[in-house]
Every structure is written in structure tokens, then in C-alpha cells.
């Protein structure tokens, strides 16, 4: 049986505006998403049997609870495929870290199995499958810099934001997305979706995003996990032009001007016992050209 290797890239949020609660229970969002050079490696093997999903990280659910497994199952059903697949996930993206690892794995599975199973579905059909899997999954069918609206599942390409010296830092905390939004909902804040959110203003000058970025969830998550606020302050003291939490956390993104400063900051973060990796922004063209290993 044939097999294929796929890179499953991580994402960061340059900005995240959380607006009113929707009728479906989710929050209305405006966010600017960005793929970065950190990635998991997926090995997809075509089989005659059932769909299997295994991971190198014990915190990632295996079998039918795995999002990549759900993606494969959905694609097989929609495309009418009879073949099975074994999905092996070599995790490099931290789990429950605000970097979209699970959603990326699902999208990479859709892309990889479409080639492996010789499935011919249009982009719209693929997006529809992705939307049913999770809010971040459609973005990973696009990559690069994109605006996310609705629950974040409606994505639109933006002018690429280039940033070559980013530092990701995670202090070992797993943050529940649902818990982060629940904390935010308890605060008194404007809920009118007609208010022009900061994200849309920032999108007009995408090149300045690293300096102008903000995340509405950062305050409430950092209040519950003060280590996040400490990491942000420490990165700024080490020369970051800007530092903010990605998504619902707990990973912090530091924006640096050069390799030397970002490398010193990485060494400092690792000396403190934190997971830390230097990455760069990945544009749509590079994303599409490098997703297959």
C-alpha cells in the first residue's frame, strides 16, 4: 500500500477580538491568523481496513476521538472512498497551547488523504468538511495570513505579514478554550457586533501587526495563569518589540528584530524550564509548496 508524508503547520493569532455570544452558543470572532514554521509530521498510509490514528504524544487522543481520525472518516464518507488509512502523528506542536495543532492535523489529513485516495473534491466541498470538524480547521486549508470571522471558521486571505524572528514560549500549561471563553463571558464588556473590531482596523495595515496586535482573551487567561503574564514581561525585557498570547493560550509569541536577540531570549526561556522555539511566518505560497514532505 502507498503512503505519504504531510507537514501539519502551527498557527498564531496576530489579533483576536471576541464579540457577542451567538445563538449557537459560540462567540462571534474577528481574528487574524498566521501559519508559522513549526510543524507536526504526519505519515498517512493507505490500507484495506479501518481508519487508525496514533500519536507520539500520549496527551493526544487516539482512535475515533482524534481530530485527524474524524477528518479521515468525514472525507471517506463524502467522497465515497472504500479504502482505509493509518495516520501516524509525530507531535512537535505543544498540545492545548493556542497553536492549532489538532485542527492543523485534521486539515493536513484532509489534504494528504485527498491525494493518497485520489479524491477530487472542490475547495468549497473541502471547506465544508473542515467547518464541521472545528473552527480553526478551514484556515489550515488556506495557510498564510488570513482574516477569520464568525466562529473563526470563515477565512479570507489577507496581504501576507512577514515576520522572520518570532519566538514561541509555553510554560507547560494546558488551557481549555471553553474555560477561557467562559471567563471572558463573565466580564462586563461591549457586545455589539456593529462595533468595528480592532482586528479589522489592523488588517488595513497588515505590516504593522506585530506592533499593534492584541488578544481579548489574554487578560482573563493570564489572570488564571499568572505565569503567562510573567513570560510576556520577560520577553519584552529581553528585547521583544511585542509579546502576546496566541489564541486561548497558553503559548506566548514574542516578535523580535533579529536572530541574535531572539536566540538569546530562547536560551533564557529554556534555562527557566519553558518550552521555546524560534519560528517565522509562513506565507500561502510556501505553505502550499512545502506541505508534502
Q: Is residue 11 annotated as part of the catalytic site, yes or no?
A: yes
User: Using CB atoms within 10 A of its CB, is residue 269 exposed (0-12), middle (13-18) or buried (19+)?
Assistant: buried
Strand ranges in 81-164 using DSSP code E only, listed in sequence order: 84-90, 145-150, 154-157
Alpha-carbon span 249 to 175, nearest angstrom? 6
What does each C-alpha distance from 3 to 42, 47, 85, 140, 196 come to in angstroms?
10, 9, 9, 21, 47
Exactly one of 17, 40, 136, 216 is catalytic; name it. 136
Alpha-carbon span 273 to 276, nearest angstrom? 9
Exactly one of 11, 40, 70, 216 is catalytic; name it. 11
Q: Is residue 136 annotated as part of the catalytic site, yes or no?
A: yes
Cβ-proximal residues to 171 (8 Å cutoff; 6+ apart), any chain: 227, 228, 231, 250, 274, 275
Q: Is 232 helix (H, G, I), strand (E, B) or coil?
A: helix
DSSP state of 215: B
Active centre residues (catalytic):
11, 136
Amino acid at each position: 500500500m502507498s503512503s505519504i508524508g504531510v507537514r501539519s503547520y502551527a498557527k498564531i493569532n496576530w489579533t483576536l477580538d471576541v464579540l457577542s455570544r451567538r445563538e449557537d452558543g459560540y462567540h462571534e470572532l474577528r481574528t487574524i491568523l498566521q501559519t508559522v514554521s513549526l510543524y507536526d509530521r504526519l505519515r498517512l498510509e493507505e490500507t484495506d481496513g479501518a481508519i487508525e490514528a496514533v500519536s507520539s504524544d500520549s496527551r493526544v487522543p487516539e482512535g475515533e476521538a482524534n481530530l485527524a481520525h474524524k477528518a479521515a472518516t468525514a472525507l471517506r464518507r463524502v467522497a465515497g472512498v472504500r479504502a482505509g488509512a493509518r495516520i501516524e502523528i509525530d507531535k512537535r506542536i505543544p498540545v492545548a497551547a493556542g497553536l492549532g495543532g489538532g485542527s492543523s492535523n485534521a486539515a493536513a489529513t484532509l489534504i494528504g488523504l485527498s491525494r493518497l485516495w485520489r479524491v477530487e473534491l472542490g475547495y468549497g466541498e473541502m471547506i465544508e468538511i473542515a467547518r464541521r470538524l472545528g473552527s480553526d480547521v478551514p484556515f489550515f486549508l488556506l495557510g498564510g495570513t488570513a482574516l477569520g470571522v464568525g466562529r473563526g471558521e470563515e477565512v479570507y486571505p489577507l496581504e501576507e505579514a512577514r515576520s522572520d524572528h518570532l519566538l514561541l514560549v509555553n510554560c507547560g500549561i494546558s488551557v481549555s478554550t471553553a474555560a477561557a471563553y467562559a471567563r471572558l463571558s463573565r466580564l462586563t464588556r461591549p457586545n455589539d457586533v456593529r462595533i468595528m473590531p480592532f482586528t479589522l482596523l489592523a488588517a488595513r495595515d497588515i505590516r504593522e501587526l506585530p506592533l499593534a496586535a492584541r488578544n481579548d482573551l489574554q487578560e482573563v487567561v493570564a489572570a488564571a495563569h499568572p505565569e503567562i503574564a510573567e513570560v510576556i514581561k520577560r520577553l519584552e525585557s529581553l528585547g521583544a518589540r511585542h509579546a502576546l498570547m496566541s489564541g486561548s493560550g497558553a503559548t506566548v509569541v514574542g516578535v523580535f528584530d533579529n536572530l541574535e536577540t531572539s536566540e538569546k531570549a530562547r536560551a533564557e526561556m529554556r534555562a527557566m524550564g519553558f518550552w521555546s522555539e524560534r519560528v517565522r511566518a509562513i506565507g500561502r505560497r510556501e505553505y502550499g509548496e512545502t506541505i508534502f514532505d
